[in-house]
């Protein structure tokens, strides 16, 4: 099986696009920064914000839908990186994956909390279109991960985004889509396999 | 000797790999997720596959694009860290300098959208532009630090004095500590569509930072005044004062 090594252009805290060189293991810059953060190095946290703040904020914005709530969730995520970076285990995933997994859970919690308080999710789902820029803008960088996603089948893309951003359980997806849980799992597996192939083809 | 408690069965590996995608998206029922988790504890090969699957899943959010988060978000985190340190968190080598940044960012960045500028004539030749901060801080009440008091600023941040005859000017900012080693503050004014660097702040005396100069521009026509902290690692806009009535 080909091992994907993400080299992902994501917006940094200053709005530029940065390259997140990362792979499973602790050798990336993000992994080194997490190590320094675990030792109490605030400068490393600032550097991490500069590198992945844009990706973290984009994830929060996509999940919670509201820019103010997304900022709150982003702040909470970086607080979590500060207090819990010692829990990052490079054997389990890359630093980027750990950072975004933590972010996703915080944002999903924030959205559930807001839902419990009765706020309508009126803007959920619209932010992606607003934030993603025009197709022409994204097409400027053929090596962008967004381009890989654009080339996925719409059904695969929708399934992966729903699974990642909506935070529904398998049973909930099964009910919503009126398919068996096993079908949900096999569709996810197939979509991930096709994403792996698309990502692998993208690499030189 | 084969021991199922140590050496996972091949069938378990196949079942685990079939479920990895569902596992990393958290869609597995909890009992199945526990079973898969137990297998991953014991099986290095499947653990490596799971790591690759998590890395691949992280591409989903990385496909997004979005406006960058404003520096206040970082300022809030640093401010919270600094408050925590006062209660005895470990101090590390970098902390002394970084804490200075945290205090500064925590104060000025929080006031970023609320600083008001007013000017008056103290004498026929000297115009004074006052920088006031009067806001409730945007510290969240949604999370676990909800019990913290709301910060309220209602004080002068500083002032810019301009000699209208000679165009000499002097900026005074209160409570602006010395920057960390290798860092400095940059002051920028906006005149019409032009951003003009007014220089670096390099003088401190008893907690008051001053910067003097002489401008080719009409400072009283300045529409925006920005103060940035520049270090080798980052550049953060701390003060971004705009006043429509100015």
* Whether A88 and A44 share a structural domain: yes
Please indicate whether residue B180 or residue A26 has the higher confidence score (pLDDT): B180
* Whether A156 and A194 share a structural domain: yes
> Per-residue pLDDT averaged across B17-21, rounded?
91
* Whether A104 and A149 share a structural domain: no
The CATH number assigned to the domain holding A101 equals 1.10.1740.10
The ipTM is 0.72
CB contact under 8 A, A75 and B64: no
pLDDT at A58 over 80: yes
Per-residue model confidence (pLDDT) at position B136: 38
B85-110 tens-digit pLDDT: 543 333 333 333 333 333 344 444 43
pLDDT at B62 over 70: yes
Per-residue model confidence (pLDDT) at position B200: 79
> Per-residue pLDDT averaged across B53-57, rounded?
89
Across the interface, which of B18, B67, B91 has its CB nearest the CB of A15?
Answer: B67
Q: Is residue A18 part of a domain?
A: no
Q: Is residue A17 part of a domain?
A: no
Per-residue model confidence (pLDDT) at position A60: 93
Q: Is residue A122 part of a domain?
A: no
* Whether A37 and A108 share a structural domain: yes
Residue B165 class from Cβ within 10 Å (0-12 exposed, 13-18 middle, 19+ buried)? exposed
Q: Is residue A191 part of a domain?
A: yes
Residues in chain A: 204
Q: Is residue A6 part of a domain?
A: no
Q: Cβ–Cβ contacts within 10 Å for residue B27, how many?
A: 25
pLDDT band at B242 (very low <50, low <70, confident <90, very high): low
* Whether A35 and A84 share a structural domain: yes
Q: Is residue A104 part of a domain?
A: yes
What DSSP string describes chain A? Answer: ------EEEEE-TTS-EEEEE--SSS-SHHHHHHHHHHTT-HHHHHHHHHHHHHHHHHHHHHHH--HHHHHHHHHHHHHHHHHHGGG--TTTS-HHHHHHHHHHHHHHHHHHHHHHTT---TTTTHHHHHHS--HHHHHT-TTSHHHHHHHS-HHHHHHHHIIIII---HHHHHHHHTS-HHHHHHHHHHHHHHHHHHHHHH--
* Whether A57 and A95 share a structural domain: yes
B159-176 tens-digit pLDDT: 777 766 666 777 777 666
Phi, psi of B33, deg, nearest 5: -65, -40
Per CB-CB distance under 8 Å, the chain B contacts of A103 are: 61
Per-residue model confidence (pLDDT) at position B81: 79
Q: A88-97, B50-59, B112-121, B135-144: which has the minimum mean pLDDT?
A: B135-144
* Whether A150 and A104 share a structural domain: no
Q: A66-75, B74-83, B147-156, B237-246: which has the minimum mean pLDDT?
A: B147-156
pLDDT band at A20 (very low <50, low <70, confident <90, very high): very low
The answer to whether residue A4 neighbours chain B at the CB level (below 8 Å) is yes
A125-178 tens-digit pLDDT: 333 233 333 333 333 333 467 778 888 888 888 889 889 998 888 888 888 888
Rounded to a whole number, what is the distance in Å from the CA of A34 to chain B's nearest CA?
15
* Domain span holding position A88: 29-113
Q: Is residue A23 part of a domain?
A: no
* Whether A97 and A52 share a structural domain: yes
Per-residue model confidence (pLDDT) at position A189: 93
Report the domain count for chain A. 2
> Per-residue pLDDT averaged across A120-125, rounded?
32
The model's pTM: 0.54
Per-residue model confidence (pLDDT) at position A63: 92
Per-residue model confidence (pLDDT) at position B125: 59
* Whether A38 and A89 share a structural domain: yes
> What percentage of chain A has pLDDT greater than the value 90?
22
A64-96 tens-digit pLDDT: 988 888 988 999 999 999 988 988 988 888 899
Per-residue model confidence (pLDDT) at position B119: 41
Distance CA B222, CA B214 (A): 14
Q: Is residue A163 part of a domain?
A: yes
Per CB-CB distance under 8 Å, the chain A contacts of B22 are: 170, 184-185, 188-189
The answer to whether residue B48 neighbours chain A at the CB level (below 8 Å) is yes
The CATH number assigned to the domain holding A189 equals 1.10.10.10
Per CB-CB distance under 8 Å, the chain A contacts of B93 are: 41
CB contact under 8 A, A138 and B57: no
* Whether A50 and A99 share a structural domain: yes
pLDDT band at B240 (very low <50, low <70, confident <90, very high): low
Phi, psi of B204, deg, nearest 5: -130, 140
pLDDT band at B206 (very low <50, low <70, confident <90, very high): low
CB contact under 8 A, A6 and B90: no
Across the interface, which of B58, B94, B142 has its CB nearest the CB of A97?
Answer: B58
* Whether A106 and A47 share a structural domain: yes
């Amino acid at each position: 099986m080909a091992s994907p090594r993400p080299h992902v252009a994501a917006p940094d805290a200053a709005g530029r696009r940065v390259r997140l060189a990362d792979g499973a293991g602790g050798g990336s810059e993000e992994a080194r920064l997490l190590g320094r953060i675990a030792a109490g190095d605030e400068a490393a946290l600032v550097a991490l914000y500069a590198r992945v703040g844009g990706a973290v904020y984009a994830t929060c914005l996509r999940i919670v839908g509201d820019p103010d709530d997304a900022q709150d969730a982003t702040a909470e995520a970086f607080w979590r990186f500060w207090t819990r970076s010692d829990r990052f285990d490079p054997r389990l995933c890359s630093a980027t994956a750990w950072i975004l997994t933590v972010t996703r859970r915080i944002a999903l919690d924030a959205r559930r909390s807001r839902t419990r308080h009765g706020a309508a999710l009126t803007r959920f789902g619209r932010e992606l279109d607003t934030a993603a820029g025009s197709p022409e803008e994204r097409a400027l960088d053929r090596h962008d991960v967004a381009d890989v996603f654009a080339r996925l089948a719409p059904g695969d893309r929708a399934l992966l985004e729903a699974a990642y951003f909506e935070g529904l359980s398998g049973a909930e997806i099964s009910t919503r889509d009126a398919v068996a849980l096993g079908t949900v799992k096999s569709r996810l597996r197939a979509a991930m396999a096709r994403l792996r192939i698309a990502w692998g083809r993208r690499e030189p | 000797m084969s021991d199922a408690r140590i050496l996972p069965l091949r069938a378990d590996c196949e079942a685990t790999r079939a479920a990895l995608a569902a596992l990393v998206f958290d869609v597995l029922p909890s009992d199945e997720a526990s079973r898969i988790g137990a297998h991953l504890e014991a099986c290095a090969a499947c653990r490596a596959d799971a790591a690759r699957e998590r890395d691949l899943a992280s591409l989903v959010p990385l496909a997004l694009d979005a406006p960058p988060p404003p520096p206040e978000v970082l300022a809030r985190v640093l401010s919270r860290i600094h408050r925590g340190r006062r209660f005895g968190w470990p101090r590390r080598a970098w902390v002394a300098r970084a804490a200075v940044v945290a205090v500064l960012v925590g104060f000025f960045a929080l006031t970023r959208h609320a600083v008001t500028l007013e000017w008056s004539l103290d004498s026929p030749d000297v115009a004074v532009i006052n920088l006031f901060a009067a806001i409730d801080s945007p510290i969240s009440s949604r999370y676990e630090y909800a019990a913290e008091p709301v910060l309220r600023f209602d004080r002068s941040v500083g002032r810019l004095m301009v000699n209208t005859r000679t165009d000499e000017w002097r900026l005074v900012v209160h409570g602006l500590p010395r920057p960390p080693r290798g860092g400095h503050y940059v002051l920028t004014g906006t005149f019409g569509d032009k951003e003009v660097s007014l220089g670096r702040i390099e003088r401190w005396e008893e907690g008051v930072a001053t910067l003097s100069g002489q401008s080719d521009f009409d400072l009283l026509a300045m529409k925006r005044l920005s103060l940035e902290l520049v270090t080798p690692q980052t550049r953060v806009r701390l003060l971004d004062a705009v006043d429509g009535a100015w």
